Amino acid sequence: MTTLPTLIVPGYRGSGPQHWQSWLQQQLPDCTRIDGIDWQQPVLAHWAGRIRDVLAQTTQPLRIIAHSFGALAAVVAVADRPEQVVQLVLVAPADPDRFDCMGLKPEQGFIDQRFSLHNVVPQRALAVDGLVIASRNDPWLAYDKAARLAASWALSLHDAGHAGHINAESGYGPWPALLDLLQTDSLPVSTLSPGAAASLRKGRGSALAAVRQLTREQLQSPQDHRLWQQKAANSP
């Protein structure tokens, strides 16, 4: 059994005391939850930037366990800092096409597909080991699409059956099967040297830089109705 320092990254709206992540945090030694993120504002640039900062400051490579929108943010950060991650576990990732750079796409109003997170979330091998845990009836991401993302990230795929989005709202509390999965020696651990990873995250070529650039472009877009609403709310 491998004991790894673990960083938990919740999804949109965070994870309360009944969530499986809160339970898991109590079960794993040397396990912390990331802070400094506004869970009510799923802005990829902010979330991924915070995760990447934590990875840059850690003195020991981490295992990351990320859920839902947090999984998308983790992918961006890990793409830039793979040498700081020994294992990446993405539980029920959210569909990048359901979000843009400002957050959850509106159900009505103007939507510009140029700013979809599908255009900036890395879809290449991440140079880390780990897996994607997906279910057959997840309303936030179809199983087939989860399988394609796992393949593009070069991560294993674990079929969780009909577990929904695997969150507190769907009745998920303690999750012993996940703990067993994390503690098995069959789940691989990465060993990537800092030198081998350095070329993946330089300057403008980094994954986070691409997210920030698209975010700036969306903020400058006069068509986005959410910007109009914000301007109207702030006007005298």
Query: Mean per-residue pLDDT for 152-163?
Result: 86
Element (H, E) at 77: helix 69-80
Rounded to 5 degrees, what are φ and ψ at 6?
-125, 140
Residue 199 confidence (pLDDT)? 42
Residue 197: what pLDDT?
A: 45
Domains of the chain: 6-234 (3.40.50.1820)
Question: How far does Cα 170 stand from its chain's mean position?
Answer: 20
- pLDDT grade, residue 171 (50/70/90)? very low
What mean pLDDT comes out for the span 92-102?
94
Name which residue leads in pLDDT, 107 or 112: 112
196: pLDDT strictly greater than 70: no
Predicted pLDDT at 73? 98
pLDDT in tens, 203-217: 557 999 999 999 999
Q: What is the pLDDT of residues 108-118, one digit of tens each?
A: 656 788 999 99
More confident residue, 186 or 182: 182
Q: Could you tell me the pTM of the whole model?
A: 0.87
Q: How far apart are CA 92 and CA 53, in angstroms?
A: 24
In this structure, the chain runs to a length of: 236
DSSP conformational letter for 57:
H
Rg (CA), the chain: 18
- The set of residues, in sequence order, having a beta carbon less than 8 Å from that of 207 and lying 6+ positions away, is 48, 75, 76, 77, 79, 80, 120, 122, 201
Tokens representing 115?
């700013």
- Both structure tokens of 32: 């912390």
| pLDDT of res. 181 | 87
pLDDT at 230 over 60: no
Query: In the predicted model, what is the mean pLDDT of the chain?
Result: 84
Rounded Cα distance between 99 and 44, Å, is: 9
Q: Assign residue 36 a region (left: φ > 0; alpha: ψ between -120 and 50; beta: otherwise).
A: left
- How far is it, in rounded angstroms, from Cα 170 to Cα 192? 37
* Of 165 and 62, more confident: 62
Q: Is residue 161 over pLDDT 90?
A: no
Q: Which residues contact 119 (CB under 8 A, 6 or more apart)?
A: 214
As a dihedral over the C-alpha atoms of residue 217, residue 95, residue 167, residue 43, rounded to 10 degrees, the angle is: 0
